[in-house]
Amino acid sequence: MPWIQRQIELPAQRRGFHLVTDEVVRELPELRSLTVGVLHLFLQHTSASLSINENADPDVPVDLESSFSAIAPEDFPYRHTCEGPDDMPAHVKSALLGCSLSIPVGQGRLLLGTWQGIYLCEHRNRGGRRRVIATLWGE
Condensed to tens digits (0 to 9), the pLDDT of residues 90-126 reads 999 999 999 999 999 999 999 999 999 999 999 999 9
What is the set of domains in the chain, with CATH numbers? 4-138 (2.60.120.460)
Give the rounded distance of the alpha carbon of 59 from its chain centre: 18
Helix (H, G, I), strand (E, B) or coil at 10: strand
Average pLDDT of the chain to the nearest whole number: 97
> Cα dist. 8→11, 69, 130 in Å?
10, 27, 8
β strands within the chain, DSSP E: 4-10, 14-19, 36-43, 48-54, 100-106, 109-110, 116-126, 130-138
